[in-house]
Amino acid sequence: MLTLVTSDRFAGHLTPPGHPERFERAEVMQVVAAEAHAAGWSVVEPRTATDEELRRIHTERYLREVMATAGRPVAFDPDTVTSRESVELARLAAGAACHGVDLVLDGRARTAVAFVRPPGHHAEADRAMGFCLFNNVAVAAAHARARGAERVAIIDFDVHHGNGTQHSFEADPSVLFVSMHQFPCYPGTGAAGECGRGAGEGYTVNLPMEAGCGDADYAVVFDRAVLPVVRQYRPDLLLLSAGFDAHAADPLAGMQVSTEGFGSLARRLAAVAGEICGGRIVAVTEGGYNLSALAGSLRALTAGLAEPGLGAAEAVPGSRERGERALAEAVPVISRYWRL
Ligand SMILES: [Zn+2]
């Protein structure tokens, strides 16, 4: 039982010509949602995030600063620009992620997928960054905790490191953050040695990967590090920062994942969620800037989450050399905290 949470309003967040995070991405999301609806899946309009929900992640001062720009275009930095409706839509994007959490925690859906923009995982507590205004997945994780979930795991396979999400929870053992990302690359954080601090030490898990990684590299890192850590953590709910800019066709980064590769990761994730947390997954979109790759990857993600496969038993063809090198670097750090 999978429910999509999305709105055609997300196309109203406008960016300048040539900007990769463009309104056409929302049109692609609507095409895929319409197909899903026609196939009998549930598609719902999101609610908006409340002030209280946003305040769990963002500072009062930052929220005031952002809200004061509502109705007019602003450049928060050279990459992160808004239009008249952007602030309202960023709030709707964070609300869609919370809405997904509500559906899953209320038992109205087993899995929820929020197709949103602007994306969120670069947004810091006090700063817009990397196309992101509010940290949608972090707001959703804090919402799940506020609703009584004891442990929440966030997996982030966007090609960029989710710096904002990591910083939101790096001292908090009740939210596990596991990221696979191209490294070195924007935003520069996410080295293997970044593993949390204080009571949160060990609950931040970074898997930096060299450019050129394909489906089998991602699968081996998933099977030998990401999924074993998540299994041992035993979350009540699994959140996914679903960026598709590791796709071979993506213009922003240098990975080689195929559309089917994302399907395979989704089936693996759904199989593990079925074992450990009643299948409860809430996926929230992040990057993915080639429109046809985005369409295919959204289809592969939703189909994969709806129909768990054999998990790690499902073979993925291709070289896993780069994945093995990523593991060789990160496993010594991760093994201090988890059995791998
Ligand atoms: Zn990205």
CATH number where 79 lies? 3.40.800.20
Share the mean pLDDT of the chain: 97
> Which residue range is the domain that position 231 belongs to?
2-334
Task: Give how far Cα 294 sits from Cα of 15, 239, 297, 334, Å.
Answer: 18, 19, 5, 31
Cα(160) to centroid(ligand 1), Å: 4
Instruction: Taking residues 279-307, report their average pLDDT.
Output: 97
What does the pLDDT read at residue 296?
98
Number of domains in the chain: 1
Q: Residues 228-287: pLDDT tens digits?
A: 999 999 999 999 999 999 999 999 999 999 999 999 999 999 999 999 999 999 999 999
pLDDT above 80 (res 294) = yes
Residues assigned a catalytic role: 122
Other beta carbons less than 10 A from residue 56's beta carbon: 16
pLDDT tens column, 55-68: 999 999 999 999 99
For the chain, give the longest Cα–Cα distance: 51
- Average pLDDT for residues 7-30, to the nearest whole number? 98
Q: How many A from CA of 287 to the centre of ligand 1?
A: 4
Is position 265 within any domain? Answer: yes
Reported confidence tier of residue 11, pLDDT bands at 50, 70, 90: very high
- The percentage of the chain sitting over the pLDDT mark of 90, rounded to a whole number, equals 97
Residue 52: inside a domain, yes or no? Answer: yes
Per-residue model confidence (pLDDT) at position 14: 98
Determine the distance separating the centroid of ligand 1 and the alpha carbon of 47, expressed in angstroms. 25
Q: Output the DSSP codes for 176-241.
A: EEEEEEESS-TT----TT----GGGTTSEEEEEE-TT-BHHHHHHHIIIIIHHHHHHH--SEEEEE
Residue 340 falls inside a structural domain: no
Confidence class of residue 307 from pLDDT cuts 50, 70 and 90?
confident
- How many angstroms does the Cα of residue 288 sit away from the middle of ligand 1? 7
pLDDT of residue 268: 96
Kindly give the distance from the C-alpha atom of residue 7 to the centroid of ligand 1, in angstroms, as a whole number: 21
pLDDT per position as a tens digit, 318-339:
999 999 999 999 999 999 999 9
pLDDT over threshold 80, residue 288:
yes
CB 330 within 8 A of CB 211: no
Q: Binning pLDDT at 50, 70 and 90, where does residue 129 land? A: very high
Contacting residues for 307 by C-beta, under 8 A, at least 6 apart: 267, 270
Q: How many whole angstroms from 164 Cα to the centroid of ligand 1?
A: 12
Residue 314 has pLDDT above 90, yes or no: no
pLDDT band at 5 (very low <50, low <70, confident <90, very high): very high
CA 156 to centroid of ligand 1, rounded, Å: 10
How many whole angstroms from 159 Cα to the centroid of ligand 1?
Answer: 5
The pLDDT confidence band at residue 1, using thresholds 50, 70 and 90, is confident
Residue 291 counted as domain residue: yes
Mean pLDDT of 163-182: 98
Distance of CA 312 to the CA centre of its chain: 21
**Which pLDDT belongs to residue 308?**
76
Q: Supply the pLDDT for residue 311.
A: 73
Establish if 339 belongs to a structural domain.
Answer: no
* Residue 321 domain-assigned (yes or no): yes
pLDDT band per the 50, 70, 90 thresholds, residue 309: confident
CB atoms within 10 A of CB 126: 12
Question: pLDDT digits over 93-122, tens only?
Answer: 999 999 999 999 999 999 999 999 999 999
